[in-house]
Chain A
Amino acid sequence: AQRVTQPEKLLSVFKGAPVELKCNYSYSGSPELFWYVQYSRQRLQLLLRHISRESIKGFTADLNKGETSFHLKKPFAQEEDSAMYYCALSVAYGNKLVFGAGTILRVKS
């Protein structure tokens, strides 16, 4: 069965500190993974996807197939990074998404 696990419900860091949001997945096929973000009072939006290998807003994520992980990282957190972050796995034909439960990131000044 496909599953995405985000072990932390809440991650609180100080501004300027490094951030790592954890994501582990379970999938027998070839995984395609995403990070979606939801800022306060905004809709869910794509932050990044592993196949593009780009850095968005200073965030990066590397797919580790051996550890079945796709952790989201940023070296220096900013207050505007405070949001809900969801890790998602694309399964089957048609890009259907399986989401984790989400992690709230709070960046304190």
Chain B
Amino acid sequence: ETGVTQSPTHLIKTRGQQVTLRCSSQSGHNTVSWYQQALGQGPQFIFQYYREEENGRGNFPPRFSGLQFPNYSSELNVNALELDDSALYLCASTRDRDLRDEQFFGPGTRLTVL
């Protein structure tokens, strides 16, 4: 069983640019959630995808968007990057949104915006 993987590991962008982060869910999982973890804080929920549809969103602006593919992998896109977007972005997958199962986290992508 393969765990949750994320790419890239690290990324440096400048203000105003766009970025795409990728996540492969654990085998057998159809629900993916994205979290932003700023330095010294706990992860903050961005949005969740279930069977290719967005299934809930946290308090993040529309320039944060996502996709989920038929194989349940997912992308997080951030447009018009701001300095405050610098954070660790975590992806988590779970077997099914209806089961309230454990969420399995990836190692994260560290984004730095200069």
Q: B residues within 8 A CB of A102?
A: 41-42
A95 near B45: Cβ-Cβ < 8 Å: no
Q: Bound complex: CA of A45 vs CA of B41, how far in Å?
A: 16
**Chain A residues bordering chain B, tally (CB within 8 A):** 22
**Chain B residues bordering chain A, tally (CB within 8 A):** 30
B103 near A46: Cβ-Cβ < 8 Å: yes
Q: Bound complex: CA of A95 vs CA of B56, how far in Å?
A: 10
Q: Evaluate whether A43 and B108 lie within 8 angstroms (CB atoms) in the complex, with A93-B97, A95-B94 already known.
A: yes
Q: Bound complex: CA of A49 vs CA of B58, how far in Å?
A: 22
Q: Bound complex: CA of A85 vs CA of B43, how far in Å?
A: 12
Q: A residues within 8 A CB of B4?
A: 43
Which B residues fall within an 8 A CB radius of A? 4, 31, 33, 35, 40-45, 48, 50, 55-56, 58, 90, 92, 94, 97-108
